[in-house]
Structure 1
Amino acid sequence: MTLFRVPARRDFRMPQLRRRRRAAIPLLALALLAAVALSLAFGGREISFPALMDAVFSPDTSDQSAVVWGLRAPRTVVGILAGAGFAVAGALIQAVSRNPLAEPGIVGVSAGAGFAVTLAAAVWGIASPSAVAGVAFVGALLTTAVVLAIGRAGRPGGSARMLLAGVAIAAILGGLSTGIALRDTTAFTAVRNWALGSIVATGYDEARVMGLVIAAGVALAFACAPGLNALALGDELAASLGTRAAWVRGAGVVAIALTAGGATALTGGIVFLGLMVPHAMRWIVGPDQRWILATSLLAGPALVLVADVIGRLIAAPGEIPVGVVVAVVGAPVLIAMVRRREVSGL
């Protein structure tokens, strides 16, 4: 019996898919590099490309170097980590649940993290970014564990029960968080900016710790990908191919907790990202989870960084949190994708 090594589904119209797949990774990598350059160059103070290159490769004590390395580089790193975490988690939860409308928030990850931060701010008065990130991650992990225990993934109907449990728990924790925040000004202040999906307040220390967590989740996600391809054929056929469905789903949920929990701890919730990116990648590269995960890993950070730049430019000298921009931009894009004749399926 094997756990993860199972042949992927054969895709129809393979020549067209092969062309898309050959082009997808290089183009998305270039898009991510361009997004990083835009994130470092644009903001309240615009920096020319030659000056940006000098600041990046020859840092000194100038104001431009201070802006690039002290202000924009940390938020760029956080944007890359958060985009990768949410996009990979979205692809995983759709594959594990076999529900194309699933996204990380539906299993209660964001709600659990938000409730933990709100409660800790009200009871212990936490306010520092490090404390907020740590408490949010613990809350995300505990909520995911509870949802998994209720759903009992692997038994008949386990995926449906997991989603229903996630929706119910998210509603309960969201209501409790709102009630606590409205009654406690300290909690409201601590949660307000974090809950909007901002990448501003988090620094290198938090990004270093949560980056390792997200990286572990991504590695586990790629290990699960062949088994998830087999599960898409149905549990009985997957079992005949040597896939242990319960273990694959369990490992997938752990990967979701690590990627989505780490990303939520850094930025709060960024809605639509985990729903929109896997849909777009599935339409481009087909149903093979290995390709969906690889392309989502590049597309998610690029989208977050571009949305962050847009939020800086349209509200200058202030800015709009990236979570708000992604929601505003993502909704029409997702509607346009759904209206296509060939809608991506699982």
Structure 2
Amino acid sequence: MRVLRSRAALSFGLVVCSGVLLLCLLASVRFGAARIGTWEVIGAFVDYGGSEDDLIIRTLRVPRALIAALVGAALAVAGAIIQGLTRNPLSDPGILGIEAGAALAVVGSVFLLGASSLTTYALFAFVGAAVAAVVVYGLGTLGGGMNPMKLVVAGAALAALLSSLTTAVLIFNQRTLEEIRFWLAGSVAGRDLGLLLQVLPYVFAGLLLAFVLGRQITALTLGEDVATGLGQRTAWVKSLSVAAVVLLAGSAVAIAGPVGFVGLVVPHVARFFVGVDYRWILPYSALLGAILLVSADIAARVALRPQELPLGVMTALVGAPVFIYLARKRSKG
């Protein structure tokens, strides 16, 4: 189904989504564990005095809102690419073992090296995610080129193996579990602008590559024979698509931990509005993913104030019912 049919309507929809995202970012800065009024928020930007409220706004809430938006956009676009590449509507970035690879790398860094800072977690998570994706892609191309089924099987097998190893380490060493359990649940709490700036170039490169490949991914969703008949070099398109997924999902997991369901749910919402053209699905997914994660982060902070829920719990509350609905729908189909 396609709700927005004309190019003008699709363009206007992007403007509306951008406006909604801006409102969500403002709400993220306004609401939190500490009760800060609207005028105090405005004063933190126009009349900065170094008060406690000013510091909370500038050093905690603004970076947190921006990181949540960036992570949401990256995961949603990565999920859309994976669904198009595998032609499987139930796929998400976890299918390449990215989240499992990142988790094992972080757990290993804590267990073996005693790592304790978020910056170190991010570095090891990105490397682990990239290595896992490369291994899955290599396994998926054995025996004469990559196809969606081989990629899914290889990803599921490697993800299961890496998750088992991660669980074994956590059972063996309770200290490691205590140190990283909040990261494993997914969170943007405590992240600063320095961490954001570290991953921003990778996310930007991944988004740019994804948007450039929009037309080619659309053709691939029609089948590899159709894409080849249209003159596409499908091997290159698949390789570049996987590279975009690694950059996007690897950066997102590195900075926020394994946040589930965003890459699964958001592309379906985008398709509902724009249809099957990935030139529109990808930018809509980026904006809708950012809106979803910023909104989920607000809910995580205020639901049990002053306590805070992990961000992954909030996305699971939204994503799990949608996943069940999609699975049942696909089964009936």
Q: C-alpha deviations, 1:291-316, integer Å up to 9, x for none?
A: 11101111111111111111111111
After superposing the two structures, state which structure 1 stretch, 58-67 or 303-312, moved more. Answer: 58-67
Change (3 A) 1:286 1:13: closer
C-alpha contact (below 8 Å) 2:93/2:245 kept by paired residues:
yes
Please, which moves more after superposition, 318-327 or 20-29?
20-29
Shift of 1:185: 2.7
Asked if structure 1 preserves the Cα contact closer than 8 Å seen for 2:60 and 2:191, the reply is no
Q: Which residue number corresponds to residue 86 of structure 1? A: 75
Q: Match for 2:200 among 205, 211, 229? A: 211
Does the 8 Å contact 1:118/1:191 carry over to 2?
A: yes
Whole-Å Cα distance in 2 between the matches of residues 20 and 194 of structure 1?
40
Is the deviation greater in 43-52 or in 92-101? 43-52
Other structure's SS at 1:45 match: coil
* TM alignment of 1:16-165, pairs within 5 A: 16=5, 18=7, 20-152=9-141, 155=144, 158-165=147-154
Conserved 8 A contact 2:90-2:327:
no
* Number of positions where the alignment pairs a residue of Structure 1 with one of Structure 2: 332
Q: Output the amino acid matched with 1:140.
A: A
1:31, 1:334 → 2: CA distance? 25
**Is 1:226 matched up with 2:231?**
no
The alpha-carbon distance between structure 1 residues 208 and 60, as it changes in their structure 2 partners (threshold 3 A), is same
Instruction: Tell me what 1:312 maps to.
Output: 301
Partner of 2:34, secondary structure, is: coil
Q: Is the 8 A contact 1:217 1:255 kept in 2?
A: yes
Q: Contact between 2:202 and 2:248, CA under 8 Å: does it hold in 1?
A: yes
Partner of 2:234: 245
User: Given that residues 83 and 90 in structure 2 are in contact (C-alpha distance below 8 angstroms), is that contact kept between their aligned partners in structure 1?
Assistant: yes
Cα deviation, 1:53-86, whole Å, max 9, x if unaligned, reads: 2213332212221110122112112111211110
Counterparts of 1:99 and 1:295, CA distance in 2: 19
Q: Percent identity?
A: 36
CA deviation string 1:181-204 (max 9, x = no partner)? 111133212321111011013222
Matched, 1:197 2:181: no
Q: 1:125 to 1:13 in 2, by over 3 A?
A: closer
Q: Structure 1, unaligned stretches of length 5 or more?
A: 1-11
Match of 2:170 among 153, 172, 181: 181
Q: Deviations for 1:122-177, whole angstroms, at most 9, x for unmatched residues?
A: 11111111100000000000000000000018956622111111111111110110
Instruction: Kindly provide the amino acid, as one letter, of the partner of residue 66 in structure 1.
Output: L
Maintained 8 Å contact 1:225/1:289: yes
2:249 corresponds to which of 253, 260, 266? 260
Alpha-carbon distance between aligned partners in 2 of 1:254 and 1:266, rounded to the nearest angstrom: 18
Structure 1 338/32 Cα, relative in aligned 2: closer, same or farther at 3 Å? farther
Q: State the 1:334 CA deviation.
A: 4.9
What do residues 9-63 of structure 1 show as CA deviations (whole Å, max 9, x unaligned)?
Answer: xxx9797454652442122111111110111000112222232222133322122
Query: What SS is found at the alignment partner of 1:214?
Result: helix
Unaligned 5+ runs, structure 2: none
Matched residue type, 1:205:
G
Task: String of CA shifts for 1:226-245, please: whole Å, max 9, x gaps.
Answer: 11111122222211211101
Match of 1:271, SS? coil
Q: 1:329 aligns with which of 299, 318, 327?
A: 318
**Aligned partner letter, 2:176:** A
Cα 1:153/1:28, change in 2 over 3 Å: farther
Q: What is the alpha-carbon distance in structure 2 between the residues aligned to residue 117 and residue 15 of structure 1?
A: 42
1:53–1:163 distance in 2 versus 1, CA, 3 Å: same
SS of alignment partner, residue 213 of structure 2: helix
TM-score normalised to structure 2 length: 0.93
Q: Which residue of 1 aligns with 2:274?
A: 285
Distance 1:148 1:200, change over 3 A: same
Distance 1:149 1:226, change over 3 A: same
- Say whether the 8 Å CA contact 1:94–1:101 is kept in structure 2: yes
Counterparts of 2:268 and 2:145, CA distance in 1: 26
Contact kept in structure 2, 1:20 and 1:284, CA below 8 Å:
no
